[in-house]
Structure 1
Amino acid sequence: MASPAVAVLIAAGLCACDSGAPAATPRPPSPAVSAGYAFGGTDRAWIEINIAMNSELVPLLDLAPAHSHDEAVRALATQLKDFHANETATLRQLHDEAGLPAENPHVGMPMPGMVTPDIVAKAAASEGRAFDEYLKLHLREHLEQGVQLARSETKSGVEPRSKQLAEDMIARRTAFLTKLGKAPQ
């Protein structure tokens, strides 16, 4: 789990994520935006970060059927993949309604819980118990970071559906962390 200092830095980064960027050519608002949904800077950054984190986790989860020898680990990876796919669909809908750009600035961002290509390559080079332990380590980091980010959204976000999704993410990630044997504090 991220230390309190790291959590504060992440929360601060979420709040300031789009504050210093030059203004892009504005796109016309989507019908949902004009219908009264207001997305703040924290909402927008949180949506983008979670799309990136979820998308970059998938290649690691895809390795489980071939590299794990433990049915419970393979089942957990399948559950997480399904859960993240559904969550990402909701995040993408919010992304579009918020009028965010197609290019996600958080893809590949080195941060706690982000699955990198190096992590996927190392996992692909292992199997059995070694793979399972490595997978579980990175799943814990991903889920714990997701809880921290969701807590920041619930405190600083303004868009009600984003905040509700963050609450749901805290509950689901906590349940998965409990399955992994370590619930967040």
Structure 2
Amino acid sequence: MRGIPVRATGCLLLAALLLVSACTSGSPTGPAASTATTAVPSTATTVAPAPVGSASPSGSAGLFSATDIAWLQLTVAMNERLLPVLDLVPSRTTDPEWLTFAARLGTAHRANLSTARRLLAASGAPATNPHEGHDMPGMVTAEELAALRSSTGVAFERRADQHVRAHLDQAIRIATAEQRVGTHPATTALASAVVRTGNTDLAGLGRLDRP
């Protein structure tokens, strides 16, 4: 996590969740791999879900496990970092494909953010997100956002492409892990939707790439 020590239980559980995913689908690569393999002691690789919340407000039966909550908290933090990037697009480029893509992606991520927040509230998790202020894989830093604000046209598009791609890659990785390890039906359903739409969005982003 770019030098930030992992102290919160949610962070430990999510990293353990990623380790479980790596065991079943092959070792991940990139920043997430180092996060999962260095931040958690070996005893955390078999964290058992512990019901800590209540049923989903959507009516799906079941209790939230600590891993469900950890994934929801990180999903909220990641989406909150991506949306300012997408909001810059209309003022930084006139490319119609980028404008359409960013608008669609922004709508979907705001909907996912709303759902994740609602599920967290139903779980009884603290209102303060333990990932707030952390610079983690898939998150745009304050410095990177400033660089985006100072660029336009093709330069902006290339930078935005890198950040959106990093976000989608990491979101798919942790959502895939939540699908396998999570226990709360509405939460794992959201994770499934993130994986499905994330892969579609990556393909759409690829079509925007300039030579």
TM-score (norm 2): 0.72
Match among 23, 32, 45 for residue 6 of structure 1: 32
Q: Are the aligned partners of 1:54 and 1:84 in contact in 2 as well (CA < 8 Å)?
A: yes
User: Post-superposition shift, 1:6?
Assistant: 3.2
Task: Please name the residue that 2:188 is paired with.
Answer: 163
Structure 1 gap segments, 5+ residues each: 20-28
Residue 31 of structure 1: CA displacement? Answer: 7.3
Counterpart position of 1:26: none
Aligned to 1:111, what secondary structure does the other structure show?
coil
Q: Do the aligned residues in 1 keep the contact of 2:54 with 2:63 (CA within 8 Å)?
A: no
* CA–CA separation in structure 2 for the residues paired with 1:91 and 1:167: 13
1:69-88 paired onto structure 2 within 5 Å: 69-88=94-113
2:211 paired with 1:181: no
Contact persistence 2:67–2:178 (CA under 8 A): yes
Distance 1:75 1:36, change over 3 A: closer
1:148 to 173, 178, 182: 173
1:46 maps to 71
Paired-residue identity, %: 33
1:180 is paired with a residue whose SS is helix
Change (3 A) 1:155 1:12: farther
Letter in 1 for 2:69: R
Aligned partner of residue 206 in structure 2, secondary structure: coil
**Structure 1 residues 125, 175: closer, same or farther in 2, change over 3 A?**
same
Q: State the partner residue of 1:23.
A: none
Question: Once the 2 structures are TM-superposed, how far is the Cα of residue 39 of structure 1 from its aligned partner?
Answer: 1.0
* CA 102–131 in structure 1, closer or farther in 2 if over 3 Å, else same: same
Equivalent AA in structure 2 for residue 72 of structure 1? E
The verdict on how the C-alpha distance between 1:4 and 1:69 changes in structure 2, with shifts beyond 3 A counting, is closer
Structure 2: which 5+ runs fail to align? 1-27, 48-52
2:175–2:195 CA contact under 8 A, matched in 1: yes
Deviations 1:37-65 (A, max 9, x none): 31112101000000011011111111100
Deviating beyond 2 angstroms after TM superposition, the runs of 4 or more aligned structure 1 residues are 4-14, 29-33
Matched, 1:100 2:128: no
User: Are the structure 2 counterparts of residues 5 and 83 from structure 1 closer, same or farther at C-alpha, using a change threshold of 3 Å?
Assistant: closer
Q: Is the 2:31–2:137 contact (alpha carbons within 8 Å) kept by the matching residues of 1? A: no
C-alpha distance 126-150 of structure 1, shift in aligned 2 (>3 A): same
Q: Which one of the candidate residues 122, 135, 149 is aligned to 1:110? A: 135
* Equivalent-residue separation in structure 2 for 1:96 and 1:11 (angstroms): 30
- On the 8 A contact 2:93/2:153 being kept in 1, the answer is yes
